[in-house]
Amino acid sequence: MRTPGQILNEYYGFTTFRPLQEDIINAVINGNDTVALLPTGGGKSICFQVPALVMNGICVVISPLVALMNDQVNELKEKGIKAMHLSGGMSFEEVNTALDNAMYGNYSFLYLSPERLQQEMVQNAIRKMDVCLIAVDEAHCISQWGNDFRPSYKNITILREMHPLVPVIALTATATPEVLADTISELKLELPKVFKSSFYRPNLAYKTQKAEDKLYRIQQQLEKNPGSAIIYVRSRSLAVETSDQLNSLGISATFYHGGISSEIRQTRLAQWKQGAVFTMVATNAFGMGIDHPGVRFVIHMQLPESIESYFQEAGRAGRDGNYAEALLLYNDYDKVLVKKQFVDSLPRKKDLKKVYRTLSNYFRIPYGEGEFSSHAFNFTEFCTTYSLPSNITYNALTTLDRLGVLQLSTQFGRKSTVKFRVASESLLRYFEEDMRVSVIGKTILRVYGGIFETATPVNLDLIAGKTGQTSEEVVSALQKMEQDDVAELQLFDTDAVITFLVPREDDKTINRMAIGVRELNDKKTKQVKAMLSYVENNFNCKSEQLLQYFGEEITERCGICSVCLKEVKPTGKKELKIIAEQILVLLETEDLSSREISERLTFTEHDIIKVLKALLDSRKIGLNPRNQYFTTA
């Protein structure tokens, strides 16, 4: 039997392990259930790959991250290690063949999603396999208190029932003490060995900044400090818009969100990793499993809903150990918006009762029946039929999912997609031939950005309402565009499948869940409150604030965050006088905006604005209609 050190050297090219890796590996080899809490970039994959190669048999790896599974399987294959991934697009026959290969082909690793594990044929095959290790990546997803809770993770314990003597290793980079305890309980780990590395990142500068003109602030950051960057936004349309704006400013950028095809996602990811494009503007669809150690900047243009989300996304920066920055830009409206989106729209018990009862009536489920019945579901149609507010209804459905009352399919939220294949000038000439098609096509152009570049989810009911056409007429017009080869079209009659997990009992069903509802709502409210507190706290070191949230104490300030770098002593009168003199010298030759003045002087923007206000008050300078300052002397 080869030792862990020999395998590390032979396959990975390293002679020594990172901190805690060897201890974790030895615990697994000794047959212990194990928990590994390591920061992003801490080398979690080695903690289960090395012991699996030491032991005889196949390691079953559960992960929610398709990109990460693909990357790891490809890397293992390049090392000469037999590994496979049951991807989502495989046919029944392909899955069956792959499982046969896994059973009889001397494979070392089988990667699959928790949803794939629910298939009976997959379970039957794994029962027959010689499993040596069960690895659960992103293990915090099993906890309903975790930020990335996935109900399908609850079914992972079936692996323990199949192979009760096989050790389980749970891996995560994000877990509060509460989530850690819940994860251990939900995975039914037996006296686990828990290894927790410090989440402190001495090379990562966490910075928060209030900014009204966020694009200008990003432009400043990226022009002065070129390097690979990720910019996180909260909507697909803003990802497209921001990417376009950055390119127009001469900054190399592209965008990434859940609405673009997997082929385009892979192409753009490769371009970004290889340096052909420096800046990736993305929604949170871009994040976990993205392996690029050289990211110098992670910039958030809007507030995340939780510290967990922010810490995980910000942690993509500086994984190579070199200096990197995580910059969070915000304004007063952002603080209002995050409360509106994630707190004010939380469903109360009466909301859950109404949605659950309405849903049961919608599918004509008799009282006392409906358990494990599945139904195709159109969210927009449901809300429109019963005049339900979409935000609260959506949150009510996800809460019922978390509470185990029903299960939403992974397709929830999918809509019909449209992409125009021809240039805008050709499209407008095409519209001249048919007035009905023209009205519908032009309305789509006005409502949806980026539709020439990527397949864009389109709400057909919304287009119907805006054009005065029926949904059928909208579909007919789109199909004509597809036939005429001016558009690519994918139509989805439903955007979800709902499975009822308990018999219908209306209020009784929800009453039993009342405590859980309150706890879930309290948890989300506390998460938003913690996020706002982090943004507004400019007295305590930012690293210190983040680590305390995850139950870790540090004894000294980081020295590089926005708080640590802030001047403790206010700028004195002598310094302010020098700034005023230099501003007046600049304005003697030309009128300048505050932005242009800040770019030409080396003082802080805060002090320059302060002096400009004082000069205005004393009437030594004025402000013209173009928001430029001029001397009055």
What's the pLDDT tens digit per position in 235-292? 888 999 999 999 999 999 999 887 777 678 888 888 998 889 999 999 887 765 566 8
Tell me, which fold does domain 573-631 have in CATH?
Arc Repressor Mutant, subunit A (1.10.10)
Q: b/e per residue, 521-540, with b = 16+ CB within 10 A?
A: beebeebbebbbebbeeeee
Give the span between the Cα atoms of 317 and 228, in whole angstroms.
9
pLDDT number for residue 321? 80
Q: Evaluate whether 18 touches 42 at the Cβ level (below 8 Å).
A: yes
Closest CA to 169 of 15, 80, 51: 51
189, two tokens: 């780990």
Per-residue confidence (pLDDT) for residue 409, from 0 to 100:
67
Q: Residue 566 class from Cβ within 10 Å (0-12 exposed, 13-18 middle, 19+ buried)?
A: exposed
Question: Running DSSP on this structure, what letter comes out for residue 17?
Answer: P
Best CATH choice for the domain 343-412+496-512 from the list 1.10.10.10, 3.40.50.620, 3.10.20.740, 3.30.470.20: 1.10.10.10
Per-residue pLDDT reduced to its tens digit, 530-558 = 999 999 999 999 999 999 998 888 778 88
Nearest to 288 by CA among 82, 140, 81: 140
Cα 61 to its chain centre, rounded Å, is 21
Distance (Å, rounded) from C-alpha 103 to C-alpha 3?
25
Given a cut of 60, whether residue 318 has pLDDT beyond it is yes
Q: Which amino acid is at 364?
A: R
Into which CATH architecture does domain 204-339+527-549 fall?
3-Layer(aba) Sandwich (3.40)
Residues 6+ apart with CB under 8 A from 567: 604
Dihedral sign computed on CA atoms, order 556, 560, 563, 564: positive
Which token pair is 610? Answer: 């302060």
606: pLDDT strictly greater than 80? no
Do the beta carbons of residue 102 and residue 322 sit within 8 Å? Answer: no
pLDDT of 419 above 50:
yes
**What DSSP character marks residue 10?**
I
State the angle between helix axes of 349-362 and 514-536 in degrees (0 to 180), rounded to the nearest 10: 120
Give the per-residue SS3 of 495-556: CEEEEECCCCCCHHHHHCCHHHHHHHHHHHHHHHHHHHHHHHCCCCCHHHHHHHHCCCCCCC
Q: Which residues does 627 contact at the CB level (< 8 Å), separation at least 6?
A: 593, 594
Judge contact between 330 and 208, C-beta under 8 A.
Answer: yes
Q: In whole angstroms, what separates CA 125 from the centre of its chain?
A: 33
**Nearest 5 degrees, angle CA 314-CA 341-CA 545?**
35
Give start-end residues of each CATH 1.10.10.10 domain in the chain. 343-412+496-512, 573-631
pTM for the structure as a whole: 0.69
The confidence score (pLDDT) of residue 252 equals 93
CATH T-level topology, domain 4-196? Rossmann fold (3.40.50)
Q: What number is the average pLDDT over the span 627-631?
A: 88
Give φ, ψ of 428 to 5 degrees: -65, -35
Mean pLDDT calculated for residue range 326-331: 95
Q: What's the start-to-end Cα distance of the chain, in Å?
A: 87
**pLDDT tens readout for residues 371-380:** 878 887 888 8
Q: How far is CA 112 from CA 62, 66, 69, 116, 325, in A?
A: 5, 9, 8, 6, 34
Q: How far is 266 from 67, CA to CA, in rounded Å?
A: 9
Per-residue pLDDT reduced to its tens digit, 211-223:
989 999 999 889 8
What DSSP state is assigned to residue 12? I
Nearest to 220 by CA among 310, 325, 333: 325
In which region does residue 474 sit, left (phi positive, over 0), alpha (psi from -120 to 50) or beta (all else)?
A: alpha
User: For residues 455 and 420, what is the distance between their CA atoms, to the nearest angstrom?
Assistant: 8
Please determine, for residue 414, whether its predicted confidence score (pLDDT) is greater than 60.
no
Residue recorded with tokens 């966490």: 206
pLDDT of residue 207: 95
Token couple for 408: 């939403």
Number of CB atoms found within 10 A of residue 512's CB: 13
Delimiting residues of CATH 3.40.50.300 domain(s) in the chain = 4-196, 204-339+527-549
222 contacts 297 by C-beta, under 8 angstroms? yes
CATH code linked to domain 416-490: 1.10.10
For the chain, what percent of residues have pLDDT higher than 90? 46
Is residue 546 within 8 Å of residue 534, measured between CB atoms? yes
